[in-house]
Every structure is written in C-alpha cells, then in structure tokens.
Chains A and B, each alone.
Chain A
Amino acid sequence: MRDDELILYLYDELTPVERREVESRLRSDPDLASRLDALRREFVDWKNAAQPPAPGDMVQRWHDSIDRAAAGEYAATGEPRGAFSLASFAWGAAVTAALAIGIGIGAWFSNRPAAPPTAATSVAATQPALPEQQGTAFTRGLRVHFRDAQRELSSIPVEAAADRTELVMQLIQQNRLFERAAEEHGSANLARVLRAFEPILLRLASDDIAPEDAEELRKQLAFELRVMLTILERDASNKTQST
C-alpha cells in the first residue's frame, strides 16, 4: 500500500469502503501499521508547529482599523453629508495617494533611509533626478494627479469629521496599493516610505481632529502639492531642454 493512501486515511478523505480496506490491511500488516504511526507522528508535529505571534504594533493597527471603520460608519449615518460628493471622495483618494507618492518620491530621490515622510520643506530640498527607466508616463500621471488635487483641494470638507474620516480611510487603501506597486517595481525605498506614511494617514483619519487642525492640514497639503508639482514640472522641462 502506498503512502498516498495512508495520507488520505489520516485526512479522513477515503470512502467508507476504502477506509475499511485500509483498516483491514493495518490489522494484518505490522509494517504498514508502523508506517502509519510514523506518518501520524509527523502530521501531529507539523500541526503543532508554532508560528511567531503577530507583532504587537501590527495587532494594534488591526484594532485601529476597526475603530476607524466604526467611527466612519457612525459619523456617516449621524451627520448630514453637506457638500461632500462621490466625486470629491474619489478625488480625495487620488489626491492623497498622489501626495503620498509625491512625498515618497521626494524621499526616494534623496536616497534617504526609510524614515517617515517629512514635511514639504524637506521634499522641496530634494533635487529629483527621475531615473530614465521610470519613464515619463509615470511622472505625467503624477502631475495630472497633483493638478487635479490642487484644483479640488479648496473644497475639502475640513469641518465634516465623518467625511474626512471616510476620505482618509480610502486614502489609506490607496496608499497601500501604491506601496505594493512600488514593491512590485523593485522600489523598496519608495515602498518603505509609503508604508511609513500610513501611520500619519491613520492619525488624520481620527475623528477628534479639530477643524482648525484639519484646516492646517489642508494648507500643508496644498503647499506640498505645489512643491511637488514645481519639482516635477521643472524636471520635465529640464528633460525637454536636454533632448
């Protein structure tokens, strides 16, 4: 009898007839019985093999995500929607994802170690030299994002905590998508920076930020966008002149 049948026997995946046949063979064949015992011991060992526990900060992020989902849901059903629209929601996803990428690229360009994204001043201080292999399509798309974001930024609902929470939660998802994309393209530094950006977005998702703080954030976003656009457009212009 082959091990495959013993495997199916241990997994209880044999038909009743097959099972009876195996049991009959086991009774009459001590070697087969000892092979089964050895296999069973290995199965038990594999089953008991421990995995390292999830890191504490990771577990905390999972707790936080439920809190934010609950907060966003509660606020969304408990407050009027105001001027917030699906279009601006979609824009919001684009703008912060673009912003996250922008800031990430800033850090990436400057070849910094993986540190949390910094303020616009540090982004402005970088001198981007976009690698040729990145192509112009990516930066063109990024510029479109930034320009759309600039145009729409003035209507961000800073007073509506629910809308802001929903928006940022969406942004976090977007940020993760870009992070994965960066990883898939072998841009480990960019991915790490985007990952480091997430805790900041999580704080922004908090529904206890005062409107004035949200307004400060809006201004900061506008500034960062302007800086990034300037950098990207100057870079594009330099490339055009050099060709």
Chain B
Amino acid sequence: MAAVLKAASAPTRADFHDAISRRSNCWYSVCLRLTRSRDLAEDAVQDALLTAWNKRQQFDGSARLETWIHRIVVNAALQLLRKQKPGRQEPLEIDPAGDGESPDAARFDAELGDQLSVALGHLSEMERTCFVLKHLEEWRLGEIADELGMNTGAVKQAVFRAVRKLRTHMTGLLDEAR
C-alpha cells in the first residue's frame, strides 16, 4: 500500500517540465560556475534530469522537486568535473552585460556576474569548487568535504584562498561597476 501511495505521489512529466521552466537557469548557472564550460554545464543538467527522472520514485516530497533536482545537478557537474582532464576547462567568453534597457540593479548584477566569472577563472579547480559549493550553494564545510573526499580543514583553506583571490581580483572592478 505504501509503495502504491509513493508511486502515486512521484513527480510527473508535467512536474518536471514545470521545474525545468522555473529553475533551469539556476541549475545551468551553478554548473557553469563549476565547470566553466557551456557544453559541460548543458551535459550536467541533462544527465541530472535523466537521473532524476529515473529515480523519481525515490523523491519523498520533503523538499520541492526543483530543490531535489538541484542537488542532483550539482552532483552531476562535480562528476563531470572529475572525469575531465586537468586544464580541460576553457576560459568562459563573457556575454556583453545588459542590453541598455535593463534596470540599473539588473545591469549591475549582470556586470558583477561577468566580473565574478572572470575572477573565478583565477582560482584553481579545487578553490573554485569549494567556493561555489560554500558561497553560492551554501553547503556546510563538512558536506563539501564528504562530497569531494577531503578533510574539512582542506576545504576551509581552499575557501579562504578563494575568497582572498576573489577580493584581490574583484577590487576596483566593483567600484567601477557601481
């Protein structure tokens, strides 16, 4: 009976479409930050969606579907990163920020986004991964350590280095953007 109820409450195709429509930009964004490759980011989201679809019976409804998928997306990106050879990521080509019609705040955020993308390019893969998971994804240090197979101290140091480097590279850029 419980199994029947669980199957009945599993997310449907429409639920997935809805989640994609509302959250795929966010999934793509974190994958892009992690992988620094549009192709890999697309693949990560694609892999995650198929994984989520195949495991949808395991979705227990304790979180929103898009939140559940989000975690799978991040894991898919990390998995793809592990498969990549060092130096595989290309510097991101930054799209021009704003279109002249955006509100100031949106334009500022877009410029900031471009600058952060450039600054993230100055980090090592480990520093970038730890920073993105900590700062943007708000994982606990312990979770990051578990996921990456490191000790918490090493994750902490990677985050410290990342923050230091970002502050160095972003200094001035921010003032110009404001």
Residues of A within 8 A of B (CB): 3-4, 7-8, 11, 13, 42-43, 45-54, 58-59, 61-63, 65-67, 69-70, 176, 183-184, 195
Contact = CB atoms under 8 A, between A and B. Distances in A.
B20 A62 contact: yes
A43 B27 CA distance: 21
A53 B163 contact: no
Given A51-B113, A66-B13, A59 B163 contact: no
Interface in B119-178: 134-136, 140-141, 156, 159-160, 163-164, 166-167, 170, 174
B93 to A, nearest CB: 10
Contacts of A66: 13, 16-17, 20, 49, 53
A175 B61 CA distance: 34
Nearest to B135: A46
Interface of B: 13, 16-17, 20-21, 24-25, 27-29, 32-33, 39, 42-43, 45-46, 49-50, 53-54, 85, 88, 95, 106, 109-110, 112-113, 115-117, 134-136, 140-141, 156, 159-160, 163-164, 166-167, 170, 174
A2 B4 CA distance: 56
Given A42-B174, A69-B54, A62 B109 contact: no
Given A4-B160, A47-B136, A51-B113, A63 B17 contact: yes
B89 to A, nearest CB: 12
Given A8-B156, A51-B29, A63 B113 contact: no
B83 to A, nearest CB: 8
B142 to A, nearest CB: 9
Contacts of A48: 109, 112
Name which of A4, A49, A58, A183 has the most chain B CB atoms within 10 A of its CB: A49
B49 A62 contact: yes
A24 B123 CA distance: 33
A51 B112 contact: no
B49 A53 contact: no
Contacts of B117: 51
A203 B156 CA distance: 47
Contacts of A61: 42, 46
A70 B11 CA distance: 12
B53 A54 contact: no
Nearest to B12: A70
Nearest to B142: A13
Ordered nearest first, which 8 A-B pairs have the shortest CB separation? A54-B28, A51-B29, A50-B113, A50-B109, A49-B113, A49-B112, A49-B116, A53-B25
